[in-house]
């Protein structure tokens, strides 16, 4: 399967990435999207509008684990910025989870 080939067989990102984490394309991602592999280019295009990692997986048609790896790799090189959810206790906020669930239902 091509997505797993793109990630080098990895199914987990190098650091923890919540499925409800929000992803946005950075200025570097906007400038350098032409020379990227197709999956990275598509993520840069999608995340011009802030999206959750779960939405990214659904829109590009890859398993969630693959999307996490791709987004994590892109964040490491500054193509996207990841906004990890959480409140004081480190748990996701209920309102954020409700918005993510609503967005997933619309898919």
Tens-place pLDDT, residues 1-39:
466 676 676 766 777 788 888 999 999 999 987 888 889
104: Cβ–Cβ under 8 A, 6 or more apart, which residues?
A: 54, 55, 58
Measured between alpha carbons, how far is 83 from 33 in angstroms, rounded to an integer?
20
CA atoms within 13 A on the CB side of 41: 7
Model confidence pLDDT, tens digit, residues 37-94: 889 999 999 999 999 999 999 999 988 888 999 999 999 999 999 988 765 455 556 7
Left, alpha or beta for 86 (phi > 0: left; psi -120 to 50: alpha)?
left
Q: Which residue in the block uniquely carries the two structure tokens 């969630």?
A: 64
Task: Compute the distance between CA of residue 7 and CA of residue 24 in angstroms, rounded to an integer.
Answer: 20
Long-range contact set of residues 74-78: C-beta below 8 Å, sequence gap at least 24: 74/29, 74/40, 74/43, 74/44, 75/23, 76/14, 78/26, 78/28, 78/29
Number of neighbouring beta carbons within 10 Å of residue 55 = 23
């Amino acid at each position: 399967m091509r997505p797993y080939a793109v990630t080098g067989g990895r199914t987990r990102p190098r650091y923890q990435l919540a499925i409800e984490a929000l992803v946005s394309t950075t200025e570097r991602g906007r400038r350098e999207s032409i020379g990227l592999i197709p999956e990275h280019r598509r993520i840069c295009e999608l995340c011009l509008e802030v999206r959750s990692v779960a939405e990214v997986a659904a829109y590009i048609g890859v398993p969630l684990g693959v999307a996490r790896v791709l987004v994590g790799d892109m964040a490491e090189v500054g193509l996207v910025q990841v906004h990890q959810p959480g409140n004081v206790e480190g748990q996701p906020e209920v309102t954020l989870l409700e918005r993510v669930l609503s967005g997933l239902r619309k898919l």
